[in-house]
A and B are shown apart, each in its own frame.
Chain A
Amino acid sequence: MPKISTDEMNIKINEIFRQVFDDNSLSVREDMTAKDVEGWDSLTHVNLIVAVEKRFKVAFSTKEVMALRNVGDFLRLIEKKLGH
């Protein structure tokens, strides 16, 4: 996948969140956790992971997913996978 800027990545991540949670008003923030988003449970969490894997052509291990505490952690993990 061609290298993308952090801004582009954040826009794409926001699109994915809106799609997974079916909420067009959703704006992701780094400190956001599952408690902040209605419907963010274990099922939607994995759907989110799968959607990001597909969009950015990366793969996350369960250990990596388990270590995530908030959206910021997730963004940094994606950046790492993309070689930023």
Chain B
Amino acid sequence: MSDTKHLSVNDAKRVFTRLSDLARETTPFFADVWNRQEKEFGARWVEEVAESVVLLLGEDEERWKDALFGYADFSMEAVREQAYFEEHRRYRTSSAETLLTNCYEDENFMMTTYLPGLFLSHFLWRHHYKLLLFFRNEVLPELSPPGFFYEIGVGTGLYSCETLRAFPSAQSTGLDISKYSLDFTKRVLGAYGVLGRYGGHQADIFKYDLKVGSADFLICQEVLEHLEDPAKLCRLLLSLARPGAKAYITAAINAAHTDHIYLFRTPAEVEAMLRSAGWDILKSKAEHAYDGKPVEITPCVAGFLCQKA
């Protein structure tokens, strides 16, 4: 999100310094990540994270503290689940049955932990941020300006926001099973001034009346691992694309979380599923969360720029 600057460089530095100090005060054992990311990604990253926080939360330190706590809670949950995965080599659950009640319909969990944590993780988790850079630098430039695109499973709306900002005439529709994801997405898109070109619908993707062959572009970002049958979604996405349209589809691999139920063990498995659904793969990128552990137990995210023939 670099096309419009909302904060001066000095203000961004001031906000970042206060944010990382506040992280050290309120969530000391989760504060190391701020300096680690700054060291790896530099001044541009500092400006970006400061700007995102100010746009979403203003300069209200109580809201910053809530978001930092949400991030710590989100990260702790991920590491707890990853520990289970390392021991058992499977995710704790493979059924979607309880996800709605335990997660997506739980307002307190979604709005105070899951969504603020997920949003910050796009900047604070190395593999998430690298995939965001891949999308920005290597996927968006490959697109002809889309008139209309879908985002299936909006999460925090960050990727729709990136696309709407990159293409000022694009319109978008987002679908998500969680009302709170859609609310959060509207907040993100509103903060960046692109909400007027967006419509959000709460729906089960497999039961919603979508326009077949209508999309110039599709985004489906870390959704596949939340489904019992991700191959079905890969086929549905293909049906929504017009011929020649592109899609950006990603999946978490060996990455446990509260609501991850389908275990992809390699990026190649995801690629094979996409190809089997009928997608051509134009580009891909896989990034790991950290070094030092065997790859089969290290969280990874892989992104694919796909095209419908």
Contact = CB atoms under 8 A, between A and B. Distances in A.
A13 B93 CA distance: 30
B27 A66 contact: yes
Given A62-B69, A66-B69, A50 B28 contact: no
A18 interface: no
A41 B35 CA distance: 12
A65 B79 contact: no
A46 interface: yes
A46 B76 contact: yes
B33 interface: yes
Interface string A46-74: 11011000000000001001101100000
Q: Is the interface of B mostly helix, strand, loop or mixed?
A: helix
Contacts of A34: 28-29, 32
Interface in B15-39: 26-33, 36
A34 B30 CA distance: 11
B75 interface: yes
B80 A50 contact: yes
B196 to A, nearest CB: 37
A62 B290 contact: no
A42 B69 contact: no
A45 B28 CA distance: 10
Nearest to A50: B83
B222 interface: no
A43 B79 contact: yes
B27 A46 contact: no
Contact of B72 (A41, A50, A62, A69): A62
A43 B33 CA distance: 10
Nearest to B31: A42
A42 B73 contact: no
Nearest to B75: A42
Interface band, chain B: 10 to 19
Contacts, number: 44
B164 to A, nearest CB: 32
A69 B69 CA distance: 15
Which of A41, A47, A62, A65 is packed against the most chain B CB atoms within 10 Å? A62
Which of A42, A47, A50 is packed against the most chain B CB atoms within 10 Å? A42
Given A41-B32, A42-B33, A66 B72 contact: yes
Which of B29, B32, B76, B83 is packed against the most chain A CB atoms within 10 Å? B29
Nearest to A48: B29
Interface in A1-47: 34, 41-43, 45-47
Interface string B145-168: 000000000000000000000000
Nearest to A65: B76
Contacts of A42: 29-33, 75, 79
A46 B72 CA distance: 10
B72 A45 contact: no
A50 B75 CA distance: 13
Given A43-B290, A62-B69, A62-B72, A68 B80 contact: no
Contacts of A69: 28
B29 A65 contact: yes
A46 B79 contact: yes
Contacts of A50: 79-80, 83
16 contacts: A42-B31, A42-B33, A45-B30, A46-B75, A46-B80, A46-B83, A47-B79, A49-B76, A50-B79, A62-B72, A62-B73, A65-B29, A66-B28, A66-B69, A68-B28, A69-B28
